[in-house]
Chains A and B, each alone.
Chain A
């Protein structure tokens, strides 16, 4: 059975139900039930028209629910919900759903979960395994998100920047269980890119493709983190890089620069270098200046200091770092790296150990501990 086709149909089917007058939360439940039914029955009995099958089944599920809720008022009421029979209109509602799921009333976490279900068509179980939480927990989170949406005006488009942020969050969740969220985010962003002409959507898609292309080289045996400079570049997916670069160039040509296009440009410069030593750090610093101008983000300021350190030497990097908030995650690690290159090994080792203590993930902690260990070994020999 073609499970990805099923997933692609979900937003359209959901859109049909909502347009027929079902409220979003009830429609979403009904579509989920129809999806589960499809997963059970399609392998043995494939429908002629999958979309029509899903619309019909979901609509029946919705009516069942509506009937049971209104049974005290009599079944006749529910019958009035019956739609006129006829072909299903083929408007694409995905875009509208993207905006709905990125509604400002939702926390980022809820927005991600709801997007994966309503737009991505993943089942609650799949989302739960991807997040390593029990299915019941995820089901609760999703229904809470839907409750928060009830009563909110759903007709006005949300902020496109929020939609992009949600998709980027999905991408960065990586993968666990049987669903690769990075691949899923790419699929959804592709879908969005065909439906809008915003160069930032293209920029985000390019950014994801360029990151994804380097994924295999980013971890070593046992989940060990491999820094960019040490990655085996022969393992980078050149087809994905080429595609990302082409998409980015088309977007940049439209002269409406935004943060995702800028980040993608930086990723493209890394992907373009045949060896770490040949990286065009000078141009990367220019893009970081642009990105800082666009976002004013302290994290960008920190990353920029790393780039300056590569382009103009560790002293320049340390000077750039002096304007960065020392409370930022990774600040200590960056300072350790720059001091090591400046030759101050003793302090660098101490700072790496301190950074390891503050790390937020096991691979990051282990990586930083190894860096401290490496320098101490140098000092001993």
Chain B
């Protein structure tokens, strides 16, 4: 089994096929979307492939050390880096192919007009500890 992180982007990823912001959907479309995501997570739990998922606030802050004293802080992603994470899901699957399949299924969630959003999800494998080497 290998763990993968699925990243949903507010921005930074290529545009979705069905690219309409959520506040332009109808309430029924929103309800269908949320229901799809819940069913999806429940299905992964059923197959033992679900680890965790969280939504993130779009408001972020960059912080770095500046020696002693209060660390400097700057408002959320720098203008030139357009990346912004909306949320993530961690899955634990048998193969890379299965991870692709799961990500594709999540990307299929219905959106405006009841048609799939087909958003781009970023798929990142977890790095693991060095395996034991027998000499």
Decide if A and B are genuine partners. yes
Q: Which of the residues A349, A353, A360, A376 comes within 8 Å of B57, measured between beta carbons?
A: A360
Size of the B side of the interface (Cβ < 8 Å), in residues, is: 17
A377 to B, closest residue via Cβ: B26
Complex contact B59–A370 (CB within 8 A): no
Chain B interface secondary structure, helix, strand, loop or mixed?
helix
Q: Contact between B58 and A373 (Cβ–Cβ < 8 Å)?
A: no
B29 contact set on A, CB distance < 8 A: 373
B63 at the A interface (CB under 8 A): no
Q: When chains A and B are docked, how far (Å) is the Cα of A38 from the Cα of B24?
A: 57
User: In the bound complex, what is the Cα–Cα distance between A373 and B27 (angstroms)?
Assistant: 6
Cβ proximity bits B19-55 to A, threshold 8 Å, 1 near / 0 not: 0011111110111001100100000000000000001
CB atoms of B57 and A370 under 8 A apart: no
Known contacts A357-B58, A358-B59, A365-B55: A370-B35 contact under CB 8 Å: no
Given A373-B24, A376-B23, A376-B24, A366–B30 Cβ distance below 8 Å? Answer: yes
Chain A residues within an 8 Å CB radius of B55: 362, 365
Cα separation A185 to B34 with both chains bound (whole Å): 32
A366 to B25: give the CA distance in the assembly, Å: 12
B38 and A353 form a contact (CB under 8 A)? no
From B22, B35, B38, A369 is in contact (CB under 8 Å) with B22
Give residues of chain A (335-381) contacting chain B, Cβ–Cβ below 8 Å. 349, 352-353, 356-360, 362, 365-366, 369-370, 372-374, 376-377
Instruction: Give the residue name and chain of the A residue nearest to B26 (CB).
Output: A377
Q: Are B26 and A373 in contact (CB under 8 A)?
A: yes
Q: How far is the CA of A370 from the CA of B25 in the complex (A)?
A: 8
Min C-beta distance of A354 to chain B, whole Å:
9
C-alpha spacing A366/B24, complex, angstroms: 13
Complex Cα–Cα for A358 and B24 (A)? 17
Output the nearest chain A residue to B54 by Cβ-Cβ distance. A362
Query: In the docked arrangement, what's the CA distance between A71 and B34, Å?
Result: 61
Report how far A357 CA is from B55 CA in the complex, Å: 12
Q: Considering the chains assembled together, what is the distance between the CA atoms of A117 and B29 in angstroms?
A: 45
Q: Does A222 sit at the interface, judged by CB under 8 A?
A: yes
CB distance from A45 to the nearest CB of B (A): 39
Q: Which residues of chain B from 89 to 132 have any CB-CB distance to chain A below 8 Å in the complex?
A: none
Give the residues in chain B near A356, CB-CB below 8 Å: 22-23
Give 9 nearest A-B pairs by CB, closest first. A372-B23, A353-B23, A362-B55, A377-B26, A370-B27, A369-B22, A373-B27, A373-B25, A374-B27
A sample of 4 more A-B contacts (CB under 8 A), given A352-B23, A373-B27, is A222-B35, A369-B22, A370-B27, A376-B24
What are 25 pairs between A and B in contact, CB < 8 Å? Answer: A224-B34, A352-B23, A353-B21, A356-B22, A357-B58, A357-B59, A358-B59, A365-B55, A366-B30, A366-B34, A369-B22, A369-B23, A370-B30, A373-B23, A373-B24, A373-B25, A373-B26, A373-B27, A373-B29, A373-B30, A374-B27, A376-B23, A376-B24, A377-B26, A377-B27
